Amino acid sequence: MITDKHFLNAVNNTNNVDFTGWDFSIITRTGRMDSDMLSWSYGSEAIRLIQNSNAALDMGTGGGEFLSLLQPFPHVMYATEGYKPNVPIAKKRLEPLGVTVVERTEDENLPFKDDTFDLILNQHESFCASEVKRILSKEGTFFTQQVGGLDCSRINECIGVPINKEFCNWNLKKAIEELKQSSFNIISFKEEFPVQRFYDIGALVFYLKAIPWQVPNFDIETHIEGLYNIHGIIQSKGFFDVKQHRFTIKAEAK
């Protein structure tokens, strides 16, 4: 039985903190978690694209936090969100800005007519290439930044939970293959593995609660030994490092 009061207080206090929308500021703005920079800026390219668009869609908008910063919007601006608790949060934030928020339930059946958008943005959201192609106009742009299947795999190794087998092979090569099969021209792409650093075990617990697919069915009691092992690493080194997996693609519909 673990009796370390510092550790137990840290994990239990964080376990009681609610996570809403897509807001990690409680651990990022306080410097409890940090990440290396990528060689590209998804936001800089997204805002340039959206300012030259007539009809745009943001797939997987979360609570609308990121999209709300890309104003001014085109005349037609939609956002989808598949995580039910985020939908009312996104609507509250985005609809006053002129964005129509739609709940998405299936990647293969998006609730839009053919050729609706000239721009589709997608940051860390799953997608079906053929369905994206269907709702994108000819020569329209699909711009995505994806989380690869090897993302933060060291967390799983240290906790003793295998990474998701269905997701582990998701990478730049596979995504490009799927887009090409759906008649996209690939304009640009990059793939990188920046370091993500946790400075206390509470920050990691918050992260795992917010990202439930990293360690499925994550529970402090169930995974207490693995968490304590990571706590030991932080106590020894001052931090716990993992490698993220990110890639970006800009593609054009033929």
Residues of the chain above pLDDT 90, percent: 83
Which residue has tokens 């985005």? 94
Q: Please spell the DSSP secondary structure of 42-75, one letter per residue.
A: HHHHHHHHHHT-SEEEEES-TTSTTGGGGPSPPS
Q: Which residue has the higher pLDDT, 23 or 154?
A: 154
Q: H/E element holding 248? A: strand 246-253
The two three-digit tokens of residue 100, written as one number: 């129509």
CB atoms within 10 A of CB 72: 10
The two three-digit tokens of residue 234, written as one number: 């932080």
Q: Please say if the pLDDT value at position 163 is more than 80.
A: yes
- How far does Cα 22 stand from its chain's mean position? 9
pLDDT tens readout for residues 63-101: 999 999 999 999 999 999 998 989 999 999 999 999 999
Please compute the mean of the pLDDT values over residues 33-44 and round it to a whole number. Answer: 97
pLDDT of residue 1: 81
pLDDT tens readout for residues 108-130: 999 999 999 999 999 999 999 99
pTM, 2 dp: 0.91
Q: How far apart are CA 111 and CA 54, in angstroms?
A: 19
pLDDT of residue 145: 98
The two three-digit tokens of residue 230, written as one number: 């990571």
Q: Please say if the pLDDT value at position 166 is more than 90.
A: no
pLDDT of residue 12: 85
Please compute the mean of the pLDDT values over residues 22-37 and round it to a whole number. Answer: 90
pLDDT tens readout for residues 220-240: 999 999 999 999 999 999 999
pLDDT of residue 51: 96
pLDDT of residue 83: 87
pLDDT tens readout for residues 15-25: 666 666 667 88
Q: How far apart are CA 81 and CA 196, in angstroms?
A: 26
